[in-house]
Structure 1
Amino acid sequence: MSQATTPTQQPSITEEEQFIEPDISNITIEDDTPVDSWFSEKQQRLLTASAYSSLKRETPFVVLANVGLFYAEKHPPLVPDVMLSFGVSVPEDWSQKKNRSYFVWNMGKPPEVAIEIVSNTVGNELGSKLEDYARARVAYYVVFDPLRCLKGEVLSVYQLQALRYRRRDDYWMEDIDLGLTLWEGVFEGQPYNWLRWCDSQGNLLLTGDEIAQQERQRAEQERQRADRLAELLRERGIDPEQLSS
């Protein structure tokens, strides 16, 4: 059973407000001030790379790291560490300002998932951000706190229900048929407890490098099997080369 949050009273944003295109000429969409740690940067890339390599959907999708989410006029953007949105594509013409961030009124919908990676207590991930993402109508809000800076769970998944978030007891997001899991493993040479996407059976969504490694292992196993078979044939006086000719 999911658990309800208790947000403070905030002015609500109507659906019409979300999809009215405002004047963005004076809005700052890129501040050029990266402050992520090595871990956060690798974790973001793990989530984006594995989704693009292994997530199979009939509709297009985007997985973005540290891109501004503008959800209503006169509201400051949210900048999730990772966000996932189905049914949209990255705009082609990046020379236009409106195509360089996730503007809900241009994309036509909020993202389905926003993930915040906690590295200190100043981000207010379980306070104001919880309320902000609910106002932005993001279906699932995920807080990953590997260092337990917030003194709670390492991983929490919140689902939007009637404009309020309820914390789920598991990490499965049934509305998008996708899950999250914690994985003790090595990514880019670094062992850690990583956050990974998974399917309903708990199978990880693999990166391109992991898929290539699996293919190499499969090819090596096939080669070893063929070598053993050839050796058995020779022991019985049969030339395997003649069989293949």
Structure 2
Amino acid sequence: MLTEPLYSSQVFTAPFIVAANVGLFYALNRPPLVPDAFLSLNVQLARDWWQKQNRSYFFWEFGKPPEVVIEIVSNTEGNERGSKFSTYAAMRVPFYAIYDPLQQLKGPVLEIFELSGLDYVSRTSTWLDSVGIGLTLWQGEFEGREDTWLRWCDREGQVVPSGAERAAQEQVRAEQERARADALAERLRQLGIDPNEL
């Protein structure tokens, strides 16, 4: 839900990378952090991205940190509010989101921080203006499971649809269009006009 919709929706015109569970290497001889998801704008994906050696994000190769990192809390041992918080700030990542669906950290379900100086400050808005996208909580079904999901959204809070959701929306639209056409044809027949002769 945090990767495929951005690739299939063409939200961004410039090249970007959105990935899950990929190591962020920010300094030599330092261990990487592996966020649950990240978004980096104006960078090119390697042609052979699926090769193991390319499944890492080296700051010195891409020339910058990602714009957004997202951590999903699954237990209290992840240090999302501790060492990860300070390390992402040291990496100069502009936005850091913590999604804590079970509220294990005893805070809000979704909290977004913006880098200010050398540290993060909590934001009330989930719209990331300088990135041109937002985050929202969405109640719905994904992969056969009804739940609350973290999703990308537009400025109005509408979720960025996945490819499957867009296909389903297009099918509904096509069926409505066909029903309108059938109703119009029936109305023309009632008026004594053969719609096939128009």
> What's the TM-score once normalised by structure 1's chain length?
0.77
Hey, what's the Cα distance between the residues in 1 that align with 2:137 and 2:52? 38
| 1:172 CA drift (Å) | 1.2
Runs of 4+ in structure 1 over 3 Å off: 93-97
Aligned pair partner of 1:234 in 165, 189, 197: 189
Pairwise mapping of residues 76-225 of structure 1 onto structure 2 (< 5 A)? 76-93=31-48, 97=53, 99-225=54-180
Hey, what's the Cα distance between the residues in 2 that align with 1:48 and 1:100? 15
Q: Is residue 55–residue 205 contact of structure 1 (8 Å, CA) maintained in 2? A: no
What letter matches 2:83 in structure 1?
Answer: S
Hey, what's the Cα distance between the residues in 2 that align with 1:114 and 1:237? 64
Secondary structure, aligned partner of 2:96: strand
| 1:52 CA drift (Å) | 0.8
Unpaired segments ≥5 residues, structure 1: 1-45
Which structure shows the bigger proportion of residues in strand conformation? Answer: 2
Aligned pair partner of 2:14 in 59, 81, 86: 59
Hey, what's the Cα distance between the residues in 1 that align with 2:56 and 2:14? 20
| 1:177 CA drift (Å) | 1.4
Counting matched residue pairs gives 197
Hey, what's the Cα distance between the residues in 2 that align with 1:142 and 1:88? 21
Unpaired segments ≥5 residues, structure 2: none
Hey, what's the Cα distance between the residues in 1 that align with 2:114 and 2:63? 20
> What's the TM-score once normalised by structure 2's chain length?
0.95
What letter matches 1:205 in structure 2?
Answer: V
Q: 1:70 matched to which residue of 2?
A: 25
Secondary structure, aligned partner of 1:175: coil
What letter matches 2:121 in structure 1?
Answer: R
What letter matches 2:31 in structure 1?
Answer: P
1:49-98, Cα deviation, whole Å (9 max, x unpaired): 1111124223100001100000012221000000000011122356684x
Secondary structure, aligned partner of 2:44: coil
Hey, what's the Cα distance between the residues in 1 that align with 2:39 and 2:180? 42
Hey, what's the Cα distance between the residues in 2 that align with 1:51 and 1:106? 23
Identity of aligned residues (%): 56
Hey, what's the Cα distance between the residues in 2 that align with 1:56 and 1:65? 18
Hey, what's the Cα distance between the residues in 1 that align with 2:6 and 2:48? 23
Hey, what's the Cα distance between the residues in 2 that align with 1:227 and 1:111? 51
